[in-house]
Amino acid sequence: MTTRKMVILRTFVGKTSKKSYCLKKNATNPYLIRQFKIDDIVNSKFNKTWNFQLDKDLATKSAWKNICNSITRKQIVIIFKNELI
């Protein structure tokens, strides 16, 4: 199902927007880690006509988690609604 009136985004957020690579113990290749500052998401140019609501991610309980000893983030759900369309 698609709609132009609502977007549901489940993503990682932290105190800063960050892109980093993490190499876990015994791994052969690093993997990309991305997180976003909530303000960077909700205040971006394309969101000017959208209202938003922040919700707790039920799977992770939006608990803060330290990743690779340098990144602290949590997972949240952001629901955007556009009442103008």
- Residue 69 belongs to what domain range? 6-21+30-75
Residue 45 lies in a domain: yes
* DSSP percent split of the chain into helix, strand, coil, nearest 5: 10, 45, 45
Contact 35, 18 (CB under 8 A): yes
Residue 81 lies in a domain: no
Whole-number pLDDT of residue 85: 65
Number of domains in the chain: 1
| Per-residue pLDDT of the chain in tens (85 residues, 90 and over written 9) | 567 888 899 999 999 999 989 888 888 999 899 999 999 988 887 777 889 999 999 999 999 999 887 789 999 999 999 877 6
Residue 67 tokens, joined: 């990743």
